């Protein structure tokens, strides 16, 4: 197994989209950077990137956190640039993004598969020419009333934001466990079985 793992959190750049449901991938990446004491910097990869080496037992692993800055629908540009430069195989990528088909405050791990209607994932599949990469879906629900495009771009506001931040921090801790699984067992986790919901 390659000793480099890419965690790609999806979202939209600029303050306009900060704290929106569509940006939970960015929020997880930010929480992970705090856990790892790492900082994001702009890069040539069309992304903000943070890189840190973490030891799991006696195994040093380079963990790259990335937030594409191309807007959601072109997330594959950053994915392709990063994987080409660091020679990262698809199975060492974990894409983190919002999913309206899952209830709020729930997550689901998938090791491969279609985009499921998510434009950011669709572009990654297109640019990498494969759907054989793991992804962690973060549930945001769908209230069925507000048009979907407006709903996913809606902001979390206090006190909802505080509750969401606690959940996101739990997702980041869970993601660290998935990375540990990957290092020790060669797989982030069993397909579709690691699902949880928090209060």
CA distance 157 to 20: 9
What does the pLDDT profile of the chain (199 residues) look like in tens digits?
A: 579 999 999 999 999 999 999 999 999 999 999 999 999 998 889 999 999 999 998 989 999 999 999 999 999 999 999 999 999 999 999 999 999 999 998 999 999 999 999 999 999 999 999 999 999 999 999 988 899 999 999 999 998 899 999 999 999 999 999 999 999 999 999 877 555 665 4
Q: Which of 7, 9, 12, 22 is catalytic?
A: 22
User: What dotted CATH number matches 4-197?
Assistant: 3.40.50.1470
Every domain of the chain and the residues it spans? 4-197
Whether 118 is catalytic: no
* pLDDT score of 32: 98
* pLDDT score of 93: 98
How far from 148 is each of 12, 116, 119, 151, 152, CA to CA, in Å?
A: 16, 14, 13, 5, 6
* pLDDT score of 191: 79
* pLDDT score of 197: 60
120: Cβ contacts below 8 Å, ≥ 6 apart: 10, 25, 68, 72, 73, 75, 97
- Which pTM does this prediction carry? 0.95
* pLDDT score of 116: 93
* pLDDT score of 120: 97
């Amino acid at each position: 197994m390659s000793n480099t793992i890419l965690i790609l959190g999806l979202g939209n750049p600029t303050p306009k989209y900060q704290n929106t449901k569509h940006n939970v991938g960015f929020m997880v990446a930010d929480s992970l950077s705090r856990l790892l004491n790492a900082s994001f910097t702009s890069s040539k990869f069309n992304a903000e990137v943070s890189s840190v080496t973490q030891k799991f037992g006696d195994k040093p692993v380079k963990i790259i956190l990335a937030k594409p800055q191309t807007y959601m629908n072109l997330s594959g540009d950053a994915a392709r640039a990063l994987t080409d430069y660091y020679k990262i195989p698809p199975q060492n990528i974990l894409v983190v993004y919002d999913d309206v088909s899952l209830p709020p405050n729930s997550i689901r791990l998938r090791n491969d598969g279609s985009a499921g209607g998510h434009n950011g994932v669709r572009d990654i599949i297109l640019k990498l020419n494969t759907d054989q990469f793991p992804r962690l879906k973060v549930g945001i629900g769908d209230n069925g009333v507000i048009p979907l495009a407006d709903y996913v771009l809606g902001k979390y506001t206090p006190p909802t934001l505080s509750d969401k931040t606690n959940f996101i921090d739990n997702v980041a801790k869970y993601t660290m466990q998935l990375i540990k699984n990957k290092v020790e067992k060669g797989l982030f986790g069993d397909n579709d079985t690691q699902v949880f919901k928090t209060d």
